[in-house]
Amino acid sequence: MTFQVVINLIIAIMWMFLSESYSGASFIAGYILGILLLLVLNRFIPDAFYLRRVYKIIYLMFLFIKELISSNFDIVKLVYKPKLEFEPGIFAMPTELKSNWEITLLANLISLTPGTLSVAISSDNTHIYIHAMHIDDIEDEIYSIKNTFEKAISEVTR
Amino acid sequence: MIEIWIKVIFNLIIAFFLLSGTFFILSSSIGIVRFPDVYTRLHAATKASTLGIAGILIGAFLFLYVSDSIVSGKLLLAIVFTLLTAPVSGHMISRAAHRNGVKPVTKNRTDEYEEAIQKHTQH
């Protein structure tokens, strides 16, 4: 990925020198030209096209913001209910992510989703212990976390 | 005429952001008072307050931009850092509470972390 970014920057600077206008606009024009060249010559360059990964990162950020807003509305609904009707509890969620960085990101995302708060991570990094507002639907919760966050994170890092 | 309307609309947007931000912070503090134990209180403290702070900072950003035409990057950075630090602090406080033996309020006593710790110490 870094190799492709460096090539793209070199193409942009070369474009600036070739067109003999050293401004931000010509740099951006050269950068777009570089993206097009990389797209065309994608077969001869190692690794997949790097903007796909950038797109995945942006997708993850939007997912994060969406979940943050929905969790806020959830907790506000719970706060203003006249009766406190929930059954909290702590459950374990197995995770397939390996590196520290991925697990940190997953725990952060879990903390900001509706009704869940990551409490601890087991010493062998295989389970995340999550405190949930509604302990009844553990299976659904685990399934949805695995399907959205774990998938998005593993697509960014691998 | 049109300029006045644009100003009014911008002021309404700013007021909306500021009011919704304060609403979320108020409800998170009510939640801290109402909920039964540390973990559920942390739910209120870490979640509702992040959007509240973000709303107030976006309102301040828009206000500075409209009135003085200043693009304040510091306010946007502050939003990013609250989003990064709130879940981490919630995680650390709940973990510290659990390690100090604070039992979560549950109906059926579901606490798989406690079970895992006990299994670990028995071996």
What residues in B contact A90, CB-CB < 8 Å? 39, 104, 106, 110-114
Query: Taking residues B16-29, what's their average pLDDT?
Result: 91
Statement: residue B12 has pLDDT above 70: yes
What residues in B contact A91, CB-CB < 8 Å? 110, 112
Confidence at B123, pLDDT banded by 50, 70, 90: low
What residues in A contact B106, CB-CB < 8 Å? 87-90, 135
Q: What is the pLDDT of residue B35?
A: 83
What residues in A contact B21, CB-CB < 8 Å? none
Q: What is the pLDDT of residue A95?
A: 82
Choose the weakest-confidence range: B4-18, B20-34, B42-56.
B42-56
Reported ipTM: the value is 0.73
Give the integer Cα–Cα distance in Å for B7 and A89: 50
Statement: residue A8 has pLDDT above 90: no
Confidence at B98, pLDDT banded by 50, 70, 90: confident
User: Which of B34, B51, B104 shows the shortest C-beta gap to A131?
Assistant: B104
Q: What is the pLDDT of residue B110?
A: 64
User: Could you tell me what percent of chain A has a pLDDT over 70?
Assistant: 98
Q: Rounded to a whole number, what is the distance in Å from the CA of B68 to chain A's nearest CA?
A: 26
Query: Chain B residue with minimal CA distance to A108?
Result: B87
Q: What is the pLDDT of residue B59?
A: 92
Q: Rounded to a whole number, what is the distance in Å from the CA of A8 to chain B's nearest CA?
A: 27
Domain count, chain B: 1
Residue pair A129/A94 in contact by the 8 Å Cβ criterion: no
Domain range annotation of chain A? 2-44, 50-157
Task: Summarize pLDDT for A60-79 with one digit per residue, the tens.
Answer: 888 888 888 888 888 888 88
Statement: residue B18 has pLDDT above 90: yes
Domain limits at B38?
Answer: 2-122
How does DSSP assign chain A, residue by residue? -HHHHHHHHHHHHHHHHHHT--SHHHHHHHHHHHHHHHHHTGGGSSSS-HHHHHHHHHHHHHHHHHHHHHHHHHHHHHHT-SS-----EEEEEE----SHHHHHHHHHHHHTSTTEEEEEE-TTSSEEEEEES--TTHHHHHHHHIIIIIHHHHHHH-
Q: Rounded to a whole number, what is the distance in Å from the CA of B10 to chain A's nearest CA?
A: 23
Task: Summarize pLDDT for A70-105 with one digit per residue, the tens.
Answer: 888 888 888 888 877 777 778 888 888 778 888 888
Statement: residue A141 has pLDDT above 80: no
Q: What is the pLDDT of residue B60?
A: 92
Q: What is the pLDDT of residue B108?
A: 60
Statement: residue B69 has pLDDT above 70: yes
How many C-beta atoms lie closer than 10 Å to residue B114's C-beta?
16
User: Could you tell me what percent of chain B has a pLDDT over 70?
Assistant: 93
Coil, strand, or helix at residue B31?
helix
For the entire predicted model, the pTM comes to 0.76
CB contacts < 8 A (A, B): 123
Choose the weakest-confidence range: A19-33, A34-48, B66-80.
A34-48
User: Which of A64, A79, A117 shows the shortest C-beta gap to B46?
Assistant: A117
Q: Does B35 touch chain A (CB under 8 A)?
A: yes
- State the best of A61, A128, A129, A136 to mutate against chain B, taking most chain B CBs within 10 Å: A129
Choose the weakest-confidence range: A130-134, B12-16, B91-95.
A130-134
Question: Which of the pair, A10 or A154, is modelled with greater confidence?
Answer: A10
Q: Is the dihedral of CA A127, A131, A137, A143 positive or negative?
A: negative
Q: What is the pLDDT of residue A7?
A: 86
Query: Chain A residue with minimal CA distance to B45?
Result: A75
Rounded alpha-carbon distances, angstroms, from residue A133 to A42, A152, B24, B110, B123: 48, 24, 19, 12, 31
